[in-house]
């Protein structure tokens, strides 16, 4: 089954997934156009190299193409599911590169400088604004909380590894993770005011 691209563009992600599960390339093209940017950005944020980020993004999307029918909407949004796949593959790529240390701050100035100035859609621009607000919320976290979250989510380190790296008790790492996520959640509940 194949739908026209114009029709696919009007469908929500959750409606695209069954079509992707039926191997509809038009539906998948719409899906890629919606999420390829954030997927590549996340991959680059984690692996720190454009070529590796391209590989991660390609592998993740092909994986989704081949497993689209397995998406379970009860476990969250399509976008979150897709980003978790990208994140996991990026962490795998990071771990496979011996001696490559992850970036440890939320400072994305270097990435900003490399961003092409054109070709951002209005939707992407809005998402950029949201991303900027989210970065602001993350930036307001106490340093010790943002660091453990950074090391875990973007660096792929376990809580035990983080405990050893930072020289703090495991319980402290657990507590910082929890407090950090709760603070972000609280900011979101307040509308990032």
Partner 1 sequence: MTETSHERWSEDVAAYMLGALEPEQAAELERHAEGCERCREEIRWLTPALDALPESVERIEPPRELRSRVMAEVRADAGPADAPAAAGLFGRASSWLRELGSGPMGLRPVAGVAVAVLVVAAVAGFAIGGGIGSDEGGATSTVVAGKAPGITAKMVSEGDSGTLHLDNVEQLPSDRVLQAWVQRDGEVEPVEALFVPDRQGQASTELPDMEDVEVVMVTKEPSGGSATPTGEPLISIAVQ
Show contacts with partner 1 in window 20-49 (CB under 8 A). 23-25, 28-29, 32-33, 36-42, 44-45
Return the residue of 135, 140, 142, 169 that touches partner 1, per CB under 8 A.
Answer: 135
Taking the least distance from each CB to partner 1, the nearer of 7 and 192 is 192
Q: Tell which one of 9, 11, 159, 172 touches partner 1 (CB under 8 A).
A: 159
Please tell me the distance from the alpha carbon of residue 106 to that of residue 58, in angstroms, as a whole number: 25
**Please, which of residues 160-179 interact with partner 1 by CB under 8 A?**
160, 162, 171, 173-174, 177-178
Q: Which of 100, 116, 82 is nearest to 156 (CA)?
A: 100
Does 144 help bind partner 1 (rule: CB under 8 A)?
no
Q: Is 71 in the site for partner 1 (CB under 8 A)?
A: no
Supply 116's token pair: 């092409």
**Which residues, other chains included, contact 45 with Cβ-Cβ below 8 Å and sequence gap of 6+?**
103, 108, 111, 154
Binding flag, residue 152, partner 1 (CB under 8 A): yes
Q: How far is the CB of 98 from partner 1 (least distance, A)?
A: 20
From 167, 113, 110, select the one nearest 144 (Cα to Cα).
167
Residues contacting partner 1: total by CB under 8 A: 73
Inter-residue contact 53 to 43 (CB < 8 Å): yes
């Amino acid at each position: 089954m194949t739908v026209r691209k114009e029709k696919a563009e009007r469908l929500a992600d959750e409606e695209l997934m069954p079509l992707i599960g039926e191997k509809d390339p038009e539906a998948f093209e719409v899906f890629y156009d919606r999420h390829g940017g954030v997927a590549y950005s996340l991959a680059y944020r984690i692996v720190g190299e454009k070529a590796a980020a391209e590989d991660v993004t390609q592998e993740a999307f092909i994986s989704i193409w081949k497993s689209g029918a397995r998406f379970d909407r009860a476990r969250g949004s399509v976008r979150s599911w897709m980003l978790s796949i990208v994140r996991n593959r990026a962490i795998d790529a990071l771990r496979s590169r011996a001696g490559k240390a992850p970036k440890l701050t939320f400072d994305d100035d270097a990435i900003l400088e490399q961003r092409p100035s054109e070709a951002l859609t209005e939707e992407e621009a809005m998402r950029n604004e949201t991303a900027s607000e989210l970065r602001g919320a993350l930036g307001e976290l106490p340093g010790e909380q943002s660091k453990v979250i950074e090391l875990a989510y973007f660096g792929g380190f376990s809580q035990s590894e983080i405990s050893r790296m930072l020289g703090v008790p495991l319980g402290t790492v657990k507590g910082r993770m929890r407090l950090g996520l709760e603070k972000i959640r609280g900011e979101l509940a307040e509308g990032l005011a």
